[in-house]
Amino acid sequence: MGLVAYVNGEFVPKEEARVSALDHGFLYGDGVFEGIRVYNGRIFRLEQHVDRLYESAQTIMLEIPLSKEEMKQAIVETVRRNGLRDAYIRPIVSRGVGDLGLDPRKCGRPTVVIIVDHIQLYPKEAYEKGLRTITASTRKIPPHCLNPRVKSLNYLGNIMARIEANLAGVEEAIMLTIDGYVAECSADNIFIAKDGTVITPPPHLGILKGVTRDAVLELCGKLDIPAFERVFTLHDVYTADECFLTGTGAEIAPVVVVDGRRIGDGKPGPITNRLLAGFRELTSREGTPVFEEEVPSKAG
Ligand code: PXG
């Protein structure tokens, strides 16, 4: 059975899901998006993703033509119609169809698209052996220019960083702030562990406040692992005991090489492994049920 997508309130076959060439999402990257996972028929942290989508829209003054409740229902319904128990969901809201000028006042109703697809996972050995990364020469856009906390349709900087990783033959690229502090990766947040303590950059540095990142900080609390949001440099990464990335797609992915330096003993570390096990336990238990036969989860 083919997959279906939601386009402005209608369900169409995925291959026929289209928006106008005059949509400002296409012309100018004027819009916002989310990336959400479905685990065994339950949507992980739907509430947090929808809240972040509306926060991104609020900052760029984009009025989403659905209430948050309607958006959640549209997402659940799109997953249900696709019948996928493990999936990736991509809600997108763009400024809508306008003229060739920038002025968003010329745009009619914002375009709302929800795509549900099979998930592209890192191979199992990425979790067993760990990933290699480089530092990208492309820096993060400073938060005082266009705050990366807005999950906008402008991902060109992230894509340039990913191209640098591809050219170097590694899986991911670490991005630095204009001042040279470690920020995040092209599509994942970054953590280091040293002497039993976990550290990740604070959101004000100009990073996406990842839903997985937040779940990992919560897990650290539950597992009695001291965790802090702190500014750090590449020196701290090179000399860390462990390094790992977090994201909806990656979950918790160990990093064992950064810019040719081996991190710790060059294998996924014990804190990373404990957090990954804890995270997988969380995703198997929590979430908004999609299919009728599910017993509603208290954790929601
Ligand atoms: N930083 C950035 C810049 C991101 O785009 C994350 C961190 C992790 O956030 P979550 O909420 O997922 O824990 C993201 C995630 C992909 C992909 O292919 C991921 C993202 C966007 C586009 C593609 O994995 N966002």
pLDDT per position as a tens digit, 198-216 = 999 999 999 999 999 999 9
Q: Which atom of ligand 1 is nearest to the CA of 184?
A: 1
With a CB cutoff of 8 Å and minimum separation 6, the contacts of 265 are none
Question: What integer pLDDT is reported at residue 143 of this predicted model?
Answer: 96
Is residue 142 within 6 Å of ligand 1 at its C-beta?
no
Ligand 1 pocket: which of 56, 171, 248, 251 to mutate (most atoms within 8 A of CB) = 248
Residue nearest to atom 14 of ligand 1 (CA): 187
Q: Which residues contact 23 (CB under 8 A, 6 or more apart)?
A: 94, 95, 96, 97, 98, 111
Q: Whose CA is nearest to atom 8 of ligand 1?
A: 247
Is the Cα torsion angle 176, 182, 185, 189 positive or negative in sign? negative
Residues 280-296 have a mean pLDDT of 86
**Residue 211 CB less than 6 A away from ligand 1:** yes
- Is residue 298 scored above 70 in pLDDT? no
> Residue 72: what residue type?
K
The pTM of this model reads 0.95
The sign of the dihedral angle between the CA atoms of 91, 97, 103, 109 is negative
CB of 187 shorter than 6 A to ligand 1: yes
The string over 259-271, giving b where at least 16 C-beta atoms fall within 10 Å of a residue's C-beta and e elsewhere, is eeeebbeebbbeb
pLDDT in tens, 152-200: 999 999 999 999 999 999 999 999 999 999 999 999 999 999 999 999 9
- CA distances 18 to 6, 28, 115, Å, are 10, 17, 11
pLDDT tens per residue across span 3-57: 999 999 999 999 999 999 999 999 999 999 999 999 999 999 999 999 999 999 9
Residues 218-276: tens digit of each pLDDT: 999 999 999 999 999 999 999 999 999 999 999 999 999 999 999 999 999 999 999 99
DSSP string, 249-268: TTEEEEEEEETTEEPTTSS-
Look at phi and psi of residue 173 and say left if phi exceeds 0, alpha if psi is from -120 to 50, else beta: beta
Could you tell me the pLDDT band of residue 99, with boundaries at 50, 70 and 90?
very high
CB of residue 208 inside a 6 A radius of ligand 1: yes
- Would you call 151 a catalytic residue per the annotation? yes
Q: Where exactly does CATH 3.20.10.10 map onto the chain? A: 124-285
124-285 CATH: 3.20.10.10
Tell me the pairing of strands 227-229 and 131-135. unpaired
Q: Give the residue whose CA is nearest to atom 4 of ligand 1.
A: 187
Pairing of strands 197-200, 227-229: parallel
Q: Residue 299 has what pLDDT? A: 54
Q: Which among 171, 189, 209, 217 is the best mutation to test ligand 1's pocket, defined by most ligand atoms within 8 Å of the CB?
A: 189
Residue 292: pLDDT band (50, 70, 90) is confident
pLDDT on residue 120: 83
Residue having the nearest C-alpha atom to atom 17 of ligand 1 = 187
CATH of domain 4-117: 3.30.470.10
pLDDT in tens, 47-90: 999 999 999 999 999 999 999 999 999 999 999 999 999 999 99
Mean pLDDT across 109-123: 94
Q: Which residue has the CA at smallest separation from atom 6 of ligand 1?
A: 188
Catalytic-labelled residue, pool 106, 140, 151, 194 = 151
Give the residue range(s) of CATH 3.30.470.10 domains in the chain: 4-117
Q: How many helices (H) and strands (E) are present in the chain, helices listed first? A: 8, 17
Ligand 1 and 203: CB distance under 6 A: no
What residues pair up with 272 in beta bridges, in sequence order? none
pLDDT at position 47, please?
Answer: 98
Dihedral angle over CA of 115, 36, 296, 213, nearest 10: 180
Instruction: Count Cβ atoms within 10 A of the Cβ of residue 160 and give its class: 0-12 exposed, 13-18 middle, 19 or more buried.
Output: middle
297 pLDDT higher than 60: no
Contact 54, 98 (CB under 8 A): no
Distance 212 CA to ligand 1 centre (A): 9
Query: Does residue 181 sit in helix, strand or coil?
Result: coil
Measured in angstroms, how far is the CA atom of residue 279 from the centroid of ligand 1? 17
Close Cβ partners of 153 (under 8 Å, ≥ 6 residues apart)? 25, 29, 30, 31, 32, 33, 92, 94
* Residue (of 125, 269, 253) closest to 188 by Cα position: 253
